[in-house]
Amino acid sequence: MHEEIDQKLADIFDADRKLRAAQEHFLGHGDERGRVEALGRALDAASKAAEEDLDAQDRLVRVAELLTDHPSASACWLLLRLLDHAEPAVRAAAGEGLLEIGQTRYADVARTFEKAIDQGSQHTALMELPFLLAELGDAGGVKLCTRLLKHPVADVVAAAVEALASLGDPSSVKDLERLKGDRRKVSAEDEADGAELTLGELVSEALAHLRGLHG
């Protein structure tokens, strides 16, 4: 009576074993540079698929997970590209990878973020970067977030404002002060029902928070 469902479960366990074995074989083959290049090719191929292609999205999530096992500047840049993806699950996997690498190789992650800020074109990724910097908590994150206050996209600036409030460094007050009168509308994660407020209002909240921390 239970044979069929038991077999379905056994199939899952068998697939898990095969996946672990395949991953171990990949990680043990060739050198790290060659594996990262292969992951880059896989990223390129999956990125060309239609947005609704769930198989391609799953491949990109797996690419992000495998890149995390290869902490290098090249891997960080590929993860940054994934952080700019439209699919939240892909961005989440990329963000987790960058956070994990950043715990031991912060300089590589910071240089990747700086390069993205210099280019300024990956708007989705740039909205994610400040929150990653806040979670990493390194003092250098304040400087990078402050640079994003000058970005032309209001939601990128809003993310930087929220991250600076979270980082809690009083040196950011003077830069935030310049935006108090900004009337551009932005979305705030902690507002009920995703309500909009002006960038200046968000800045005022951040300044009040920082002054509360430091008197």
Q: Above 60 in pLDDT, residue 193?
A: no
Strand partners, 197: 186
Give me the pLDDT at residue 124, please: 95
pLDDT of the residue at 194: 57
List the end-to-end C-alpha distance of the chain, in Å, as a whole number: 70
Predicted confidence at residue 30, as pLDDT, reads 79
pLDDT tens column, 127-179: 999 999 999 999 899 999 999 999 999 999 999 999 999 999 999 999 999 99
For range 67-84, the mean pLDDT: 95
DSSP 172-211: GHHHHHTTTT---EEE-TTSGGG-EEEHHHHHHHHHHHHH
The residues spanned by each domain of the chain are 31-119, 123-215
CATH pick for 123-215 out of 2.102.10.10, 1.10.443.10, 1.10.540.10, 1.25.10.10: 1.25.10.10
Residue 142, pLDDT score: 95
CA separation for the pair 82, 180 (Å, rounded): 33
pTM recorded for the entire structure: 0.88
The reported pLDDT for the residue numbered 49 is: 78
pLDDT at 187 over 80: no
> What was the pLDDT predicted at 32?
87
Q: What is the pLDDT of residues 19-72, one digit of tens each?
A: 999 988 888 887 889 999 999 999 999 988 766 677 889 999 999 999 999 999
Q: At 197, phi and psi to the nearest 5?
A: -145, 170
CA–CA separation, 174 vs 179, rounded Å? 10
